[in-house]
């Protein structure tokens, strides 16, 4: 969801994002303690508070690969950018699309952490 937040860009949806945008999105997302739980659980990421841009981009790479493998009709990349499919360009200024885009991100984030918590309680 962190990558989608980078595209969402606080309601000003972009069709392409660069490393700096991805870095800022991940840094902002994981600054919230409830989101950082996953980073704190793993040896390689538990020092996330000391992460620099390179570290966040390393984490983002897993998400990028997952999006490219599971939703190749909607995402692509080149050497310096990660893209939403150009066909979505006609929707990115539509207020209903923007609202639905953000609602989906929020819902999926809550669901992910709820399911994670349920697994830990078992």
pLDDT digits (tens, 9 = 90+) for 14-47: 999 999 999 999 999 999 988 888 888 888 898 9
Tell me the residue range of the domain where 50 lies: 2-121
Of the candidates 104, 98, 69, 75, the one whose C-alpha atom is nearest the C-alpha of residue 87 is: 75
Residues 2 and 34: their CA atoms lie apart, in Å, by 14
| Number of domains present in the structure of the chain | 1
Residues 37 and 28: their CA atoms lie apart, in Å, by 14
What's the pLDDT at 115?
81
Question: What would the mean pLDDT of 45-72 be, rounded to a whole number?
Answer: 94
Neighbouring C-beta atoms of residue 79, cutoff 10 Å: 4
What's the pLDDT at 80?
95
Q: Interior CA angle at 37 toward 2 and 13, to 5°?
A: 15
The rounded mean pLDDT for the chain is 92
Question: What would the mean pLDDT of 105-112 be, rounded to a whole number?
Answer: 92
| Residues 6+ positions from 44 with CB-CB distance below 8 Å | none
What's the pLDDT at 33?
87
pLDDT confidence band for 121 (50 / 70 / 90): low
Residues 60 and 2: their CA atoms lie apart, in Å, by 8
What's the pLDDT at 71?
94
What's the pLDDT at 122?
63
Summarised one tens digit per residue, pLDDT across range 78-104 is 999 999 999 999 999 999 999 999 999
């Amino acid at each position: 969801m962190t990558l989608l937040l980078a595209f969402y860009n606080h309601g000003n949806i972009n069709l392409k994002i660069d490393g700096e945008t991805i870095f800022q999105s991940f840094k902002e997302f994981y600054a919230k303690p409830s989101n950082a739980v996953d980073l704190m659980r793993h040896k390689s990421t538990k020092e996330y508070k000391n992460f620099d841009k390179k570290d966040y981009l390393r984490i983002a790479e897993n998400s990028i690969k997952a999006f490219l493998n599971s939703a190749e009709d909607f995402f692509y990349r080149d050497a310096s950018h990660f893209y939403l499919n150009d066909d979505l360009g006609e929707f990115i200024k539509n207020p209903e699309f923007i609202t639905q885009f953000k609602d989906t991100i929020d819902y999926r984030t809550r669901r992910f952490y709820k399911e994670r918590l349920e697994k830990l309680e078992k």
